Structure 1
């Protein structure tokens, strides 16, 4: 399977562990990643607060670059995935806006987006295209931990989440099971952690982050796996601060979906061993 790889806004800057894992896991499962060397930030739902049109233009340009190669975009970030899906859907529904955006893209980059290329999240490709049976057969190191899935709110919209249920998703839990882990059921798995507001309303974002982490741990999670690189930074880098602000127990290891899959497929065994130790010491 061949896809245009879009790392999102964070993976190649603040989360190199995700970038480390994407290439080997995709190679193991037969996913051929084609780079988009001229791709840009999609705005991260931050630019949208000042200019929705600009964010749409950024995403449409990325989609047009993939379309030139005859490929869909694949990203491991739920926020980036939802932004590209939203732009594609908006342009399809509003031909006038689509024409305006394409005129802008054509002036700056000499390309246009015709609506043929779509965005796919890594999770949906693993479940729908590769198949859980093939993933399970490739497992070298079964995870053997209680793992809480965190989807976040952005890709849980009808048309954005593949064939998964937007209101009661199960793809990530199904994948955890295929990788040898035990999924943990908890209500906050699609709840926002307030990532876009972290710099402007930090306390609220930290309370939202603490709510997700504390509920996951209270339900027995030894580990949280995130499908979103932007939300991941709240759950991981800010979890100690979130615990101090709220007084809740937020101490639980958090890793990204790409890491979880790569570890189970036999890549980076030393990092998996360290993760198991952390999970036993501070997990649920």
Structure 2
């Protein structure tokens, strides 16, 4: 099969289109014919060796954890799926090597769920990692009806989901973003503010009593800037700043979860969750997709079509 892979840790310049063996399908797994794969910052950070202290890695390394596609084969003892089923998922294995930037990928049934019927392949591939991160962050912060939530990097891949899911949960959302993305945030249901110096004052102009929860989806000191705005610091969640735990918050690492994928799919099919695709690239242009993602100014998601 064709796949994008690296023979060593490196950058976008080191990505190669390779011919690799078909994946083996273990018991409890399905073989997915990939229609689209999501691109996330963790893909190129991992490929650069940034997660080497945390994760076992083998080469050639096929990046990618987000997938949408069609079940092509089922392993032993897989009553949940049949050949031809349309699925999507966060296909993060216990080691890093056999990712989703490929024509086929094998994935455990605990990593996938039925594809939301209302979404295109590209939209579905843009959901899993970012959507799960946003949903699990909001759950960890116990966000519910009547809460005011501050979301940092609200126009990005995770932030766009966070705004919409928080609104579904009944919360009011204040979101940080550059001015060019303020109309986009308003369309999602958030009240936008510019990030940077003076942020706390700008947020208090909108919410004089402060906020009930903070979602830090960017790092760069965003969680620390938010400390004066919140009373219960256990409701500060960061996916990018481990030091948040020193202030009483939580450093969240997204987990594969079929039930959460099903919940995201229900939201999408009810029209509560819109997936904005910034750019689509063919698999062969994965390096260009990475370079765009590395700029850090993406609105919504970047995906590869396979």
TM over 0.5: no
Larger strand proportion, structure 1 or 2?
2
What is the TM-score when the length of structure 1 is the normalising length? 0.30
What is the TM-score when the length of structure 2 is the normalising length? 0.29
Larger helix proportion, structure 1 or 2?
1
